[in-house]
Structure formats: structure tokens, C-alpha cells
Structure 1
Amino acid sequence: MSQNPPISAYIRTKNEERMIGDVIRAAQQVVSEVVLVDSGSTDKTIEIAEGLGARVVRSAWLGGGKQKRTGEDACVHDWLLDLDADEIVTPELAAEIRNVFAKGAPNVGAFEMMMATAPPISGDWRDFYLVDRRKLYDRRVVRQPDHPNWDQFKVPDGVAVGKLDGRLLHYSFRDLAQLEEKFNRNSSGRARDTKLKPFWQCALRMVLARPFYFLNHYVLRGMWRAGWYGFAMASIAAHGRWLKDAKMVEIHLRNRDAAKDD
């Protein structure tokens, strides 16, 4: 790792023994340091990480963005690679990053890359259902949001953003049951922390929008290319997005009840 660019990778963890070894080894293709911000693992996560030379920082769970900030502050280098405990740096992406840093730190504030889903069956999806993520950045220019839920930063106006073509593979779920649980959990936080739209908008979306959410995932984002498994995933993703609308309606109804009690 000593010949790698001066980049630190940080990873938020809690009981991630399933993949943490693979994630760390993949990151070590290109970074000089791997830091885990662990919020109470009781499995072999820490043992595996330290055995691979990663440094572990223990921190109570502060929320998504706040936990990433803890990782930022713990790193030695200013250039940071933000990884989740189920994200794999491909050899192609690692080689591209090394090439970018070969002549010194680049003259941009961040890099964007495409994150590809790697489902538990049918191989990875490197050519469709891609998500644009800014995962490699200079903490002197931009920081993660100081927020318990939002954990994706916005690049300030006027700051240049580079583009990487290599893929970051996201092994985001073990099976469809876990995928549904994740969408349910995430919808609760987003309904709670998003600015509440008028009741009529939330109710109209709850009644009418679900088919459009499905078409967005299945047709526009290309999940039809994944066959029956893509159909199932698009259905779950659409339901997860619909849950945010339903939960916002529920917030309105609770607020009405509270106003009546007052």
C-alpha cells in the first residue's frame, strides 16, 4: 500500500463480517489507509479489519452524515474515498484512480463515478441501473453533511468535478427480504426529514404515483434487462418510494389529531 496515492478510505461499520474483508482488500488496491468507524460490532468485523491492517475508530452511531464526518476527521490524508461496507472497488476503478494521481493531487475538488448494483444472483449490472456518486473528494474543499440522515455532500458552486469511468460495485442486499426492509427503513427517515409537502400533494402521490415509480425503475433505469429478478426489484423499489408518500400522509394525519387535542 505504500506506493498507493495519498488517499484514505473510511467505512462505517456495525457487524459487517460478511463482506468487510473483501471491501478492505479491494480498497487497498488504491488507497494508503483504510479507517473503520465502528459503532459497536459484536461479530468479527474488527478482528478482520485489523488483521488486514485497517485502523478502527470506535464511535456511537451518530447518524449517516455525522458518522461520515467522524470518518473524515479520523483520516490521515485529505483526499478521501467514502465507502460503505458492501461496496467493492473494481480493479479498473483502482487503476484509473492511480493514474489520475500519478502526477500529484488532481486540480479538482471531487470525482464522480458510477456505482453498479451487484445483486445476489445473476451477476453484476455494470451497464444499467447505475447510480452517479461522488465518492472520492478533497475534504479541504467539501465535507459530508452534518446531518443524521443525509449523507451525500453537494459540491460548492465553482468547484470542478472530475469523472471516473471505472465501476464501484454495490452488494447492497443479501436477498429480496432484506431489500424490502431497507426501503422501508429508509422511507421512514426520508419522510420524517424531508420538508413536508401540502397534504393534497402527498395524498395525490400516494393514490396515483406508484405505477410511475415502477416504470421509472423498470423501464427508464433499465431493470427490465435483469429479467424476473429485475421485475421483482423494480416492484420493491417502487413500493419503497411509495412508502415515503404514505408516511408523509400519516404525518399530516397525526398533526391534525394533535391540533384537535390542543
Structure 2
Amino acid sequence: MIPVSIVIITKNEALLIGECLKSAALITDDIVVIDSGSTDGTLEIARQYGCRIYQENWEGYGANKNKGVALAHYDWILSIDGDEIADRRLIRSLHNLDFDDPRIVYDIKFRSYFGKKPIRFGEWGRNHHVRLFNRSQIKWAKAKVHETLLLPKGTIRKKTEGRLHHFSVQNIFECHNKAIYYARLSAAQYAKNGNKASFLKLYLSPSFVFVKNYILRLGFLDGWEGLVIAKMMFKNTRLKYYYLKQYEQGKFVRDENLPHHQHLFLNIDPFEK
């Protein structure tokens, strides 16, 4: 095993968490699970793999990941999600890394899936993220959505071999629901940051996102799934600025006790009929 702790945040990940942990157990002897109220058997599966499990209230993606980082045994942290699986090439690569310099972060390639189909083009086909870092130097920003690592000056970025395989959505309905869910979270974050929903963002940005993903980045080569993903990205962009406009006009109801800090808008989805 290598001196790396794996940190996973979970809520109802039973569908894939077993495969996720099966690969994680080949990397380290310290797997930390930060769970926010799973009811589907996720925790029972995690216990089978000897994970250290902590029940925490949901405070956002970045904040909950930081909780896991603080509880890890090792300073080197590999952050993965419950629907991500390390392939054997990545596992071998991790075992051959040098962990002497805490300034280094490792950028890992992703392979995203729509159901069981690997997506090779469009935005999803280009994914890579820094997921391996030393906690003495780096932590997660406390954003509730699209969490990012705070990389100090002097950080050295390196790449690994292999991939994390991300089973993003199982079907078109999950794709649709995620577009709405993340649009709500993004709108709340934008409102907090003082962003405004301009005419260009409301009416031109969604179309640009579709064209960039489906045409310029060859998303159409992924067939039907590529079209669905491009439409989902259009919808997500359109909705997050629509909801931001609702914030600006005061047309929303806020409830901090909702799971994952979702917000209830008076008009949940203007495209739903």
C-alpha cells in the first residue's frame, strides 16, 4: 500500500460504491467515507471494505470533502466520488509515484459514461481533474457546487497514467434531473458572489454551450448520448441564469434545512410542461 488516504463523500451510492471501493482497496489501507444520510445500503457496503465512516451534515461539496481530508491518516489525499472507479493502469501508476514533495499535485484523466457507454467527445470526453494532493499545502474551496482545490503559488502539477472511470448518469431521466439540480446550486452560488443574469448569459450562453459541446468538440460522434449530453448542458446553462434572475427579483423560497442545501423556487423549471 502507499501513504495515501482516499476520501469519498457519499449519499445513496449503493449502485456503484462496491466497485469504487474494490479498486480503492488496491491503493490504500485508509479509506474515509463522509456520508450525509444514506438509506440504500451504501454504509453496509463501505463497512465490508473496512472504511472509516463518519456521518456528517451536508454543508456543500467542498466543505464535506475538507471534513474527510482532516480525518485522514495520511497527508497525501486521493479524492474520489462514489461513482468513480480507478482502472488498473491508474492503480499501478499511483504505486510508482514519489510522495516526497508536498508541492506536487497529480492531474488524473477521466472517462465519463452515459449508462454503460463511454463518452469520448464533447465536454465529457475531455475531463481531467487534480485529485491527488498533500493536505499540508492544499484544501478544497468551500463552494457548495463545482468544488475546486485552492492551489498555492509554487504548486507543481503532474499527470498520472490511467483513468478514473466516472459513471456520470444511468439514463436520460437522471441526466435531466442533474441538469436542474446543479443549475439550482450554481444559481445560489452566483447570487452569493454577486453575479448578474445578463441578457447575453440568459439567451446566448446556452446556445453557445450547445454548439461548443456538440459541434466544435465533436459531441455528435457519441451518437444519441452525445446529443442528450449537449441538450443537458444547454438546459443547465439556461436554467442557472433563469434561477439567478429569480434571485435578483426575490422570487424564491429558501430553506437551509433541505438535503444538500437545495433551494425551492416559485418556478422550479420553466421548461417543464
TM-score, length of structure 1 as denominator length = 0.87
Alignment of 1:37-186 (within 5 A): 37-101=34-98, 104-106=99-101, 108-121=103-116, 123-125=117-119, 129-186=125-182
1:5/1:30 contact within 8 Å kept: yes
Q: Tell me, what secondary structure is at the counterpart of 2:100?
A: coil
SS at match of 2:8: strand
Structure 1 residue 124: deviation in Å?
Answer: 1.7
The aligned counterpart of 2:262 is none
Percent identity of equivalent pairs? 26
Pick which of 135-144 and 46-55 moved more. Answer: 46-55
Aligned residue number for residue 267 of structure 2: none
> For 1:212, what is the secondary structure of its paired residue?
helix
Answer whether contact 1:17 1:44 (CA < 8 A) is retained.
Answer: yes
| Inter-partner Cα distance in structure 2 for 1:196 and 1:175 | 34
Q: How many residues align?
A: 247
Q: Deviations over 1:17-38 (max 9, x none)?
A: 1111110111122223111111
Offset at 1:148?
A: 3.4
**Aligned position for 2:249:** 253
**Equivalent-residue separation in structure 2 for 1:57 and 1:39 (angstroms):** 9
Gaps of 5+ in 2: 252-273
Q: In structure 2, the residue corresponding to 1:172 is in which secondary structure?
A: strand
Report the RMSD for the aligned CA atoms in angstroms. 1.9
Q: CA deviation at 1:56?
A: 0.8
What are the superposed Cα offsets for residues 11-63 of structure 1, whole Å, 9 maximum, x if unpaired?
11112111111101111222231111111122211111111121111112121
Q: Equivalent of 1:233, from 229, 234, 246? A: 229
Whether the aligned pair in 2 keeps the contact of 1:30 and 1:97 (CA below 8 Å) is yes
The amino acid of 2:44's aligned partner reads: E
| Aligned-partner residue type, residue 112 of structure 2 | T
Instruction: Output the CA distance in 1 between the equivalents of 2:151 and 2:238.
Output: 29
Could you tell me the TM-score, scaled by structure 2's length? 0.84
* Structure holding more strand per residue: 2
Question: Which moved further from structure 2: 134-143 or 230-239?
Answer: 230-239
Mean CA deviation greater in 25-34 or 143-152:
143-152
- State the alpha-carbon separation in 1 of the partners of residues 229 and 120 from structure 2: 16
Distance in 2 (alpha carbons) for counterparts of 1:100 and 1:89: 15
Go from structure 1 to structure 2 and tell me whether the alpha carbon gap of 1:80 and 1:24 turns closer, same or farther (over 3 Å shift).
same
Q: Residue 34 of structure 1 corresponds to which residue in structure 2?
A: 31
The aligned amino acid for 1:41 is S
* TM-aligned CA distance change 1:198 to 1:46, over 3 Å: closer
Does structure 2 retain, via aligned residues, the 8 Å contact 1:78–1:140? yes
